[in-house]
């Protein structure tokens, strides 16, 4: 697969360990949901290495010192419904005050094209660092459309995070949105004829919410 300067595939032993359990068809709903959150938290730490900090004055028990913090209300989380909801708590562990928006997409089973049915975002989102999250990046259609929807509303600082990605999805998103950093925990082999990632982990939404 062609390499892209805006794509970052993590090579973290702890993520590999957790993904191996995530893939297992015998992993139950509760553990699956917990693993999604845990992997997302690790990815959030890694993806914020370039965050801009602001100086603040802090009084310790011994003296006053200048320290650095992430500005308040500077982060928003936007899951692509519905599976993206499973990643929200993982980001919230790092940024508990982050506002949450929602973008609803579904994939036409015949054309595999994404269709938007819902979009509600926090006030002032254009000024925030936005985490767009979805566990699976398959064809890339939903992610591309969700990124376009955020940009249409003025967002300029967007980070897209997914746990499992196919090369086809990476190429689609990286080509359509070269200005958006794409963070992937695991790059899989390919898509099958039905647009599912191989080896993948099945339908993330079904496994998160027990609807299969």
What integer pLDDT is reported at residue 92 of this predicted model?
A: 96
pLDDT (mean) for 54-80: 95
Q: 199: cis peptide before it, omega within 30°? A: yes
Give the pLDDT band (50/70/90) at residue 130. very high
Give the tokens for residue 211: 């609807």
C-alpha span between 163 and 7 (Å, rounded): 13
Residue 115 has pLDDT above 80, yes or no: no
C-alpha span between 173 and 89 (Å, rounded): 24
Give the pLDDT band (50/70/90) at residue 52. confident
Residue 204 has pLDDT above 70, yes or no: yes
Give the pLDDT band (50/70/90) at residue 117. confident
What integer pLDDT is reported at residue 148 of this predicted model?
A: 93
What integer pLDDT is reported at residue 185 of this predicted model?
A: 95
* Mean of the per-residue pLDDT values of the chain: 93
Q: 82: cis peptide before it, omega within 30°? A: yes
Domain boundaries defined on the chain: 7-209
What integer pLDDT is reported at residue 11 of this predicted model?
A: 82
Give the pLDDT band (50/70/90) at residue 13. very high
Backbone angles phi, psi at 83, to 5 degrees: -60, -30
pLDDT (mean) for 9-16: 92
Q: Which residues are catalytic?
A: 107, 111, 203, 206
| Burial (CB count within 10 angstroms: exposed 0-12, middle 13-18, buried 19+), residue 166 | buried
Which percentage of the chain shows pLDDT scores above 90? 81
Predicted TM-score of the model (pTM): 0.90
Number of C-alpha atoms within 13 angstroms, CB side, residue 52? 6
What integer pLDDT is reported at residue 201 of this predicted model?
A: 94
C-alpha span between 141 and 118 (Å, rounded): 16
What integer pLDDT is reported at residue 107 of this predicted model?
A: 67
pLDDT (mean) for 145-161: 95
Give the pLDDT band (50/70/90) at residue 106. confident
pLDDT (mean) for 36-64: 94
pLDDT (mean) for 180-193: 95
What integer pLDDT is reported at residue 144 of this predicted model?
A: 94
- How would you classify the pairing of strands 99-100 and 114-120? unpaired
In CATH terms, the fold of domain 7-209 is: Rossmann fold (3.40.50)
Contacts of 14 (CB under 8 A, 6+ apart): 42
User: In which element (H, E) is residue 67 found?
Assistant: strand 64-69
- Position of tokens 């591309």? 144
């Amino acid at each position: 697969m062609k390499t892209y300067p805006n794509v970052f595939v993590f090579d973290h032993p702890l993520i590999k360990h957790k993904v191996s359990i995530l893939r297992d068809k015998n992993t139950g709903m509760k553990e699956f949901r917990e693993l999604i959150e845990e992997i997302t938290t690790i990815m959030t730490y890694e993806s914020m290495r370039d965050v801009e900090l602001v100086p603040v004055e802090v009084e310790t028990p011994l003296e006053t010192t200048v320290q650095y913090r992430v500005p308040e209300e500077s982060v928003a989380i936007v899951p692509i419904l519905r599976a993206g909801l499973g990643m929200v708590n993982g980001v919230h562990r790092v940024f508990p005050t982050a506002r949450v928006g929602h973008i609803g997409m579904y994939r036409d089973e015949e054309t595999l094209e994404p269709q938007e049915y819902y979009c509600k975002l926090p006030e002032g989102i254009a000024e925030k660092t936005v985490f767009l999250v979805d566990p699976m990046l398959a064809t890339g259609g939903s992610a591309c459309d969700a990124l376009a929807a955020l940009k249409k509303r003025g967002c300029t600082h967007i980070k897209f995070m997914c746990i499992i990605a196919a090369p086809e999805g990476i190429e689609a998103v990286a080509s359509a949105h070269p200005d958006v950093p794409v963070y992937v925990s695991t790059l899989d082999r390919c898509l099958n004829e039905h647009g599912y990632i191989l080896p993948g982990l099945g339908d993330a939404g079904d496994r998160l919410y027990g609807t299969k």
